[in-house]
Amino acid sequence: MELTPLRRGDAREWARVRLDNQAWLAPWEPSAPVSWQDRHTPAAYRGMRRATAHRARAGTALPFAVRVEGRLAGQVTVDNIVRGALRSGHLGYWLDSAVAGRGMGSLAVALVCDHAFGPVGLHRLQADIRPENGPSRRLVERLGFRQEGMFRSYLDIDGDWRDHLAYALLADDEPRGVLHRWRARADRRPDR
Ligand SMILES: CC(C)(COP(=O)(O)OP(=O)(O)OC[C@H]1O[C@@H](n2cnc3c(N)ncnc32)[C@H](O)[C@@H]1OP(=O)(O)O)[C@@H](O)C(=O)NCCC(=O)NCCS
């Protein structure tokens, strides 16, 4: 598994993976006035890539593609980065269902957390997760995120305002790094 920038040449692959995964992704995605089909064209990818590249240049986003065995298999993004006294950002992520359930999502998020807390210098990463999203809650809990509260009707997701649990990880929570924690847990798995 590797993290890379979003590449210009990923447009068709991104559209294909996202279309194939509609039922898997839609319950956790922002509501939109256009169909899933229309949101997942190669042109839509190019627009999304331009917009995130703009935010990355402005220092308010860290966008990554997740590649598994060389194929585009997801994204991890830190967005809404605020500097000054807060030094915080919001995490978002998705994976192709074909590669889920193997620890790839938590590994990708662990690597991004260490980058954000290390060279980027953030102090806090927040992940807002619907209570119904068991896999996502297990992912952040596995990496040491703590649940700090619950936001009522917080985000307009999949056609309605949805409650979200507020999870956060601080730079000091894992002094040896988040990847170290992921590895330690992976080594304790019974299949090892
Ligand atoms: C949330 C999401 C990214 C999780 O991806 P993932 O790769 O399956 O997540 P993890 O890395 O936590 O791995 C999960 C499973 O892999 C297994 N696993 C964990 N570490 C492993 C390792 N080192 N080796 C092999 N398997 C491992 C675990 O058994 C775990 O299963 P469990 O959660 O039932 O206990 C994925 O479900 C997804 O894209 N969902 C749809 C979009 C979404 O919900 N986005 C987040 C919105 S807040």
Give residue-wise pLDDT tens across range 114-167: 999 999 999 999 999 999 999 999 999 999 999 999 999 999 999 999 999 999
* Distance in angstroms (rounded) separating the CA atoms of residues 166 and 54: 27
Residue nearest to atom 47 of ligand 1 (CA): 28
**172 Cα–ligand 1 center, Å:** 24
Rg (CA), the chain: 16
* Distance in angstroms (rounded) separating the CA atoms of residues 137 and 73: 20
pLDDT in tens, 82-94: 999 999 999 999 9
Q: What is the signed CA dihedral for 30, 135, 86, 49, rounded to 10 degrees?
A: -50
pLDDT in tens, 54-74: 999 999 999 999 999 999 999
What are the tokens at 159? 């056609």
C-alpha torsion sign, points 42, 20, 35, 138: negative
Domains for the chain: give ranges and CATH numbers: 2-187 (3.40.630.30)
Burial class (CB in 10 A: 0-12, 13-18, 19+), 86: exposed
- 34 Cβ contact partners less than 8 Å away, ≥ 6 residues apart: none
* Distance in angstroms (rounded) separating the CA atoms of residues 10 and 45: 8
Q: What are phi and psi of 5, to 5 degrees?
A: -65, 165
Residue nearest to atom 20 of ligand 1 (CA): 103
**pLDDT for 171:** 98
* Total-model pTM: 0.96
Contact 146, 169 (CB under 8 A): yes
**pLDDT for 190:** 76
**128 Cα–ligand 1 center, Å:** 16
Contact 123, 170 (CB under 8 A): yes
Ligand 1 pocket, Cβ-based, cut-off 6 angstroms: 24-25, 28, 93-95, 100-106, 129, 133, 135-136, 138-139, 142, 186, 189
**pLDDT for 189:** 81
End-to-end CA distance of the chain: 19
Report which ligand 1 atom has the smallest distance to the Cα of 24. Answer: 41
**pLDDT for 61:** 98
